[in-house]
């Protein structure tokens, strides 16, 4: 065992023990202080700014004079209530559609004998790596009035004029549904997979048919998990930015995230308005996440997984299996195939103007060539890689320590640690980005405009998610090993780095890749914190869009997809090696 | 507060809280109050003013060589801005340039304002639209630098440079009307701003979401009649979407007919790349013009390099680069506009209350968010 050799190294355990008790509390105190800085300070900053009449940095910003003027102005304006309603309406509609698509696909993949179910599952998961900004851009190219591929097809084939209009509430909802459907699939497939089939078998023996068993057994059993997943997707949609920015602006539909972004970036900058909207969005997120936590807690009462080994029974669909397969393939084509296909297609065009020239005559690799020659594309890819790898590594080590203190110690205040590590899940990206700008204008650390400030914000943003992976992994390790090491006089830090971390490897690897991929995709935080040299790949995609370089953007999207796909394949290979089966 | 002080149980807590907050305030805000009233950067520039031209130029270059670094925020976007900075780097290879070429003009000005008001002196020079400078000027964040290169500016434009030297001119932008010649027959092409209200263009004219620079330009052209114009534009159901470049690309692809606040170069550049691009443009009398200038931070960490950049922006090399890229140079003839093009220049500031009124009217009558 590792700690036996360690004991040989630490010859005088008694002497070591004399200072050992100090190490854990010290590390714990540093962690707590670090989390307060990373989490509480941004929270406080949002609220503080919303209560000030002047902006961060102005004389008077740090005085103890507060005002509710920002709130009273916001609450008195019709646009606030309109944005609030739009946000809820948009999130409700997009979540419902994403949910229907994701749940249906998850059910047929996990619980039926549908052909090609593994392929469908794989494609749904693979879609998650495509950045939201690319999904939105590709759907604009697909369903834009007059120039969208689908509208051109409808005109050429059926003589219809613009049956699709992406620049509408429906279009915005559709794109967001497509963006969220894979997440719904992931959340629900886990629930469907872990359902004990004996209850359904009992129902079948009692004479219930498949549909009745589904409605009376499977659905009620999954209800808390379904409701929790619904809420999580709803919260994510409330915080979303890409579709509201690129589609909602033209559809004249404003939601909270775009209002905050515009108040922060348009001249004259309206900090008070931005902060008031931010706090409102924050409160909304907190309320929804509290409801989510309650549902997740309650869902444990409905757990059907026991120590007994079981494999969920697959429902035989009979002749409907082919219809289900066709429907699932249509879902895959819509969520993954169509956006990717239009990206590849557009990336090969010389110009976006058709002018009746056949496709083959318009094909070229010019966009790729220009991108390869462009310094900023490589810089942004390098930035994203550095950020992704740096953030992922730091977050994983940080949450491993946090998880250890939460689950393996009885130090007072560990619940605070858990709360602080989970709380950032409630901070929307646009709010987090704006807050970090304000914060580091006040804190005299020279990190504005560097990758470091984006990295710090990413640490706050991704900590709650990584903690989930790592905590699960830690809980599977018997504490006897650490106890034995402690008895043997092995110092805490040695035990942690040489014994616990290696045993947590599956969870750490999963968390590392999860953070890496999401850091690559992330737009909102990076956009608000970007300056010159610290622009990330997602930000450059938005730049290319705003410059009207749609074809280069498509080429960049294809390159980015290839990179992210390589990362995911590598992740899968590593996770297989370590026997990890977590998907999300 | 009185009730709180009267309660002895809350008093120690309150004092403790105030103490902590006081320390925080002193730590963070101290430097702001302690900001020097006089700028050492301006003192350097005053010394430079006293030198003969050749000695002055040598002094600026040797100072920049010692500083070896400059941070620039500029509004010339993407490859245009990057290309220009590359030229500067080639000319002065001893200066490491940290440049942002992706911020909009208001964003760049706002960024410097935020840095300076927080006593964070990160930026040396900005190259932005002059109309975005008022807050920087009001807070006296821009150094007085009398660039000798201002003599290169065309006489007609020289009056738009700051007499005090807080900005030198560097470029100018036009805003006119671009349209798709395949969607708009020649006889129906727009010629003046009011044409955009014609029913033929209903739902087919695009604008950027509220841009004070554009609104101020229109105000200069229309005066108070602008509000009627907003109403008629709004009645024609305009498209509100992203940047002018984004919309010119969409317009040329056939997405809609007209870009109502177009930087004309975007379509012209596309037509040069692809001669079959259906770009047409109108020079509505008057064309809106806004000048861009280089402002040097009064607390610039690298004042010599900043001065060198401001001077270089007015050289033949920098200006002809702009002209080649179809932007408006201030020392050379415009690459595509006729000499007699009727211009109205966006003012540096608007009369009291006009700005807020314009924004409100634009949002209410034109954008009409739901």
pLDDT per position as a tens digit, B335-361: 999 988 889 998 888 888 898 899 999
Across A234-262, average pLDDT: 90
What are the residue boundaries of the structural domains of chain A, listed by start? 365-584
> At A310, is the pLDDT very low, low, confident or very high (cuts 50, 70, 90)?
low
- pLDDT the model gives residue B32: 37
- pLDDT the model gives residue A216: 75
- pLDDT the model gives residue A245: 92
Distance CA B334, CA B283 (A): 14
Q: Could you tell me which CATH class the domain A365-584 is placed in?
A: mainly alpha
Question: DSSP state, B196?
Answer: G
Measured between CB atoms, which of A446, A530, A548 is closest to B249? A548
Contact A531 B103 (CB under 8 A): yes
Contact B118 A376 (CB under 8 A): no
The DSSP element (H or E) to which B232 belongs, if any, is: helix B226-235
> At A232, is the pLDDT very low, low, confident or very high (cuts 50, 70, 90)?
confident
Measured between CB atoms, which of B21, B78, B122 is closest to A547? B78
Contact A267 B110 (CB under 8 A): yes
Distance CA A133, CA A553 (A): 10
B368 interfaces chain A, CB cutoff of 8 Å: yes
Contact A267 B253 (CB under 8 A): no
Contacts of A353 in chain B (CB under 8 A): 252-254, 274, 276-278
- Tell the burial category of B224 from Cβ atoms under 10 Å away from its Cβ (0-12, 13-18, 19+): exposed
Distance CA A487, CA A577 (A): 32
Measured between CB atoms, which of B24, B82, B252 is closest to A353? B252
- pLDDT the model gives residue A298: 65
- Dihedrals φ, ψ of A402, to 5°? -60, -45
> At A223, is the pLDDT very low, low, confident or very high (cuts 50, 70, 90)?
confident
Poorest-confidence range of A387-391, B26-30, B144-148?
A: B26-30
Across B189-283, the runs of DSSP E, i.e. the strands, are 205-207, 239-240, 258-262, 279-282
Across A278-413, the runs of DSSP E, i.e. the strands, are none
Measured between CB atoms, which of A267, A444, A532 is closest to B99? A532
> At A204, is the pLDDT very low, low, confident or very high (cuts 50, 70, 90)?
confident
Contacts of A533 in chain B (CB under 8 A): 98, 100
Evaluate whether A384 touches A525 at the Cβ level (below 8 Å).
Answer: no
Contacts of A449 in chain B (CB under 8 A): 100, 122
> At A354, is the pLDDT very low, low, confident or very high (cuts 50, 70, 90)?
low
Interface test with B, best of A437, A546, A551 (most B CBs within 10 A): A546
Half-sphere exposure of B202 (CA within 13 A, CB side): 4
Contacts of A252 in chain B (CB under 8 A): 240, 367-370
Which residues 278-337 in chain B show a CB within 8 A of chain A? 278
- Tell the burial category of A452 from Cβ atoms under 10 Å away from its Cβ (0-12, 13-18, 19+): middle
- pLDDT the model gives residue A186: 83
Poorest-confidence range of A397-411, B69-83, B271-285?
A: B69-83
Using DSSP's 3-state secondary structure scheme, residue B343 falls into strand
> At B28, is the pLDDT very low, low, confident or very high (cuts 50, 70, 90)?
very low
> At A564, is the pLDDT very low, low, confident or very high (cuts 50, 70, 90)?
confident
Contact A351 B277 (CB under 8 A): yes
Higher-pLDDT residue of B7 and A146 is A146
Across A452-470, average pLDDT: 90
- pLDDT the model gives residue A15: 46
- pLDDT the model gives residue A583: 43
pLDDT at B114 over 90: no
Interface test with A, best of B88, B249, B259, B301 (most A CBs within 10 A): B249
The DSSP element (H or E) to which B125 belongs, if any, is: strand B125-129
Ordered structural domains, chain B, with CATH: 40-171+290-336 (3.40.190.10), 173-289+347-367 (3.40.190.10)
pLDDT at A71 over 80: yes
> At A356, is the pLDDT very low, low, confident or very high (cuts 50, 70, 90)?
low
Across A462-467, average pLDDT: 88
pLDDT at A395 over 80: yes
- pLDDT the model gives residue A178: 92
- The neighbour count for residue A491, using CB atoms within 10 Å, is 19
How far is CA A123 from its chain centroid?
Answer: 18
- pLDDT the model gives residue B2: 31
> At A225, is the pLDDT very low, low, confident or very high (cuts 50, 70, 90)?
confident
Rg from Cα positions in chain A: 26
> At B54, is the pLDDT very low, low, confident or very high (cuts 50, 70, 90)?
very high
Return all residues near A553 (Cβ < 8 A) that are at least 6 apart. Answer: A137, A541, A544, A545
Q: Which of A420, A529, A401 is nearest to A470 (CA)?
A: A401
Higher-pLDDT residue of A446 and A230 is A230
- pLDDT the model gives residue B23: 43
Distance CA A550, CA A357 (A): 19
Q: Which of B120, B266, B274 is nearest to B206 (CA)?
A: B266
Across A393-419, average pLDDT: 89
pLDDT at A3 over 50: no
Q: What is the pLDDT of residues A114-130, one digit of tens each?
A: 999 889 988 888 788 78
Across A57-72, average pLDDT: 86
Distance CA A143, CA A167 (A): 9
Distance CA A462, CA A470 (A): 12
Across B238-246, average pLDDT: 90
Q: Which of A102, A107, A109 is nearest to A127 (CA)?
A: A102
Evaluate whether B257 touches B282 at the Cβ level (below 8 Å).
Answer: no
- pLDDT the model gives residue A299: 58
Distance CA B15, CA A159 (A): 77
Q: What is the pLDDT of residues B313-330, one digit of tens each?
A: 999 999 999 999 999 999
Any idea what the Cα angle at residue B51 is, between residues B45 and B53, rounded to 5°? 105
- pLDDT the model gives residue A351: 81
pLDDT at B273 over 80: yes
Using DSSP's 3-state secondary structure scheme, residue A480 falls into helix
Across B269-281, average pLDDT: 90
Distance CA A564, CA A550 (A): 20
- pLDDT the model gives residue B36: 38
For residue B210, what is the nearest residue in chain A, using CA coordinates? A266
pLDDT at A572 over 90: no
Across B34-54, average pLDDT: 79
Across A519-537, average pLDDT: 84
Residue A355 backbone zone (phi > 0: left; psi -120 to 50: alpha; other: beta): left
Q: What is the mean pLDDT of chain B?
A: 86
- pLDDT the model gives residue A260: 87
Q: How many residues are present in chain A?
A: 584
> At A285, is the pLDDT very low, low, confident or very high (cuts 50, 70, 90)?
confident
> At B176, is the pLDDT very low, low, confident or very high (cuts 50, 70, 90)?
very high
- In sign, the C-alpha dihedral spanning B127, B129, B135, B138 is positive
Contact A252 B367 (CB under 8 A): yes
% of chain A beyond a pLDDT of 70: 89
């Amino acid at each position: 065992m590792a700690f036996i050799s360690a004991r040989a190294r630490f010859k005088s355990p008694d002497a070591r023990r004399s200072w050992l008790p100090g190490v854990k509390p010290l590390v714990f105190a540093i962690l707590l202080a670090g989390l307060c800085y990373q989490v509480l300070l941004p929270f406080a900053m949002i609220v503080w700014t919303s209560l000030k009449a002047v902006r961060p940095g102005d004389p008077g910003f740090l005085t103890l004079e507060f005002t509710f003027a920002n709130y009273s102005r916001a609450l008195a304006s019709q646009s606030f209530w309109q944005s609030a309603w739009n946000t809820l309406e948009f999130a409700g509609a997009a979540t419902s559609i994403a949910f229907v698509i994701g749940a249906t696909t998850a059910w047929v993949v996990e619980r039926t004998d549908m052909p090609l179910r593994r392929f469908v599952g794989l494609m749904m998961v693979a879609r998650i790596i495509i950045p939201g900004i690319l999904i939105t851009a590709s759907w604009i190219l697909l369903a834009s009035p007059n120039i969208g591929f689908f509208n051109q097809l409808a005109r050429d084939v059926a003589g219809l004029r613009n049956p699709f209009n992406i620049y509408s509430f429906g279009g915005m909802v559709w794109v967001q549904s497509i963006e969220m459907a894979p997440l719904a699939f992931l959340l629900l497939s886990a629930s469907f997979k872990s359902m004990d089939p004996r209850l359904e078998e009992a129902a079948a023996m009692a004479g219930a048919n498949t549909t009745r068993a589904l409605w009376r057994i499977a659905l009620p059993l999954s209800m808390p998990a379904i409701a929790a997943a619904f809420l999580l997707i709803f919260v994510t949609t409330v915080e979303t930015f890409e579709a509201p920015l690129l589609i909602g602006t033209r559809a004249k539909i404003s939601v909270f995230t775009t209002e905050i972004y515009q108040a922060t970036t348009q001249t004259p900058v309206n900090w008070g308005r931005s902060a008031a909207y931010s706090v409102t969005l924050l409160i909304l997120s907190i309320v929804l996440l509290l409801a989510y936590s309650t549902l997740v807690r309650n869902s444990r009462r409905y757990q059907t997984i026991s120590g007994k080994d079981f494999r969920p029974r697959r429902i035989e669909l009979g002749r409907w299996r082919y219809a289900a397969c066709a429907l699932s393939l249509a879902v895959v084509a819509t969520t993954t195939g169509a956006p990717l296909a239009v990206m590849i297609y557009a990336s090969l065009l010389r110009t976006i103007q058709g002018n009746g020239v056949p496709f083959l005559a318009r094909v070229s690799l010019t966009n790729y060539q220009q991108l390869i020659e462009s310094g900023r594309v490589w810089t942004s890819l390098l930035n994203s890689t550095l950020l992704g790898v740096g953030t992922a590594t730091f977050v994983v080590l940080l949450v491993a320590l946090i998880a250890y203190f939460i689950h393996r110690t009885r130090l007072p205040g560990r619940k605070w640690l858990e709360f602080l590590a989970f709380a950032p899940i409630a901070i929307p990206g646009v709010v987090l980005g704006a807050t970090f700008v304000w914060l580091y204008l006040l804190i005299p650390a020279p990190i504005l405009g560097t990758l470091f400030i984006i990295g710090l914000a990413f640490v706050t943003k991704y900590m709650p998610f990584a903690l989930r992976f790592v905590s699960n992994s830690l809980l599977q390790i018997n504490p006897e090993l650490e106890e034995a090491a402690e008895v043997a006089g092995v110092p805490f830090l040695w035990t942690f780095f040489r014994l616990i971390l290696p045993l947590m490897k599956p969870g750490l690897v999963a968390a590392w890749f999860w953070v890496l991929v999401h850091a690559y995709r992330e737009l909102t935080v990076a956009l608000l914190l970007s300056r010159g040299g610290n622009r990330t790949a997602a930000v450059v995609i938005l730049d290319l869009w705003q410059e009207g370089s749609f074809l280069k953007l498509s080429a960049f999207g294809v390159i980015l997809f290839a990179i992210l796909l390589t990362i995911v394949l590598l992740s899968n290979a590593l996770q297989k090696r370590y026997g990890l089966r977590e998907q999300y | 507060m009185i009730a709180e002080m009267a309660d002895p149980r809350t008093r120690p807590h309150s004092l403790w809280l105030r103490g902590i907050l006081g320390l925080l305030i002193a730590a963070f805000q101290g430097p702001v109050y302690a900001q020097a009233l006089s700028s050492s950067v301006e003192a350097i520039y005053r010394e430079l003013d006293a030198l003969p031209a050749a000695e002055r130029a040598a002094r600026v270059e040797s100072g920049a060589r010692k500083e070896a670094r400059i941070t620039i925020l500029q509004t010339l976007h993407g490859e245009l801005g990057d290309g220009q900075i590359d030229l500067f780097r080639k000319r002065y290879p001893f200066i490491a340039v940290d440049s942002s070429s992706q911020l909009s003009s208001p964003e760049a000005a706002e960024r410097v304002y935020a840095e300076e008001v927080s006593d964070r002196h990160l930026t040396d020079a900005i190259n932005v639209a002059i109309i975005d400078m008022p807050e920087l000027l009001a807070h006296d964040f821009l150094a007085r630098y009398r660039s000798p290169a201002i003599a290169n500016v065309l006489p007609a434009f020289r009056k738009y440079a700051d007499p005090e030297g807080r900005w030198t001119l560097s470029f100018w932008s036009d805003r006119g009307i671009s349209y798709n010649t395949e969607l708009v027959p020649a006889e129906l092409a727009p010629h003046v701003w009011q044409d955009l209200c014609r029913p033929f263009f209903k739902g087919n004219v695009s604008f950027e979401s509220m841009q004070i620079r554009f609104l101020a330009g229109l105000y200069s052209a229309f005066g108070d009649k602008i509000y009627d114009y907003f109403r008629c534009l709004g009645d024609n159901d305009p498209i509100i979407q992203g940047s002018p470049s984004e919309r010119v690309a969409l317009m040329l692809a056939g997405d809609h007919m007209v870009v109502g606040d177009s930087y004309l170069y975007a379509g012209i550049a596309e037509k040069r790349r692809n001669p079959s691009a259906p770009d047409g443009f109108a020079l509505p009398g008057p064309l809106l013009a806004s000048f861009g200038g280089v402002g040097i931070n009064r607390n610039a960490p690298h004042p010599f390099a900043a001065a060198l950049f401001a001077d270089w922006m007015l050289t033949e090399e920098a200006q002809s680069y702009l002209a080649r890229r179809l932007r408006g140079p201030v020392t050379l003839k415009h690459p595509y506009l006729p000499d007699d093009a009727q211009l109205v220049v966006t003012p540096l500031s608007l009369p009291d209350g006009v700005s807020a009124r314009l924004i409100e009217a634009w949002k209410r009558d034109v954008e009409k968010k739901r």
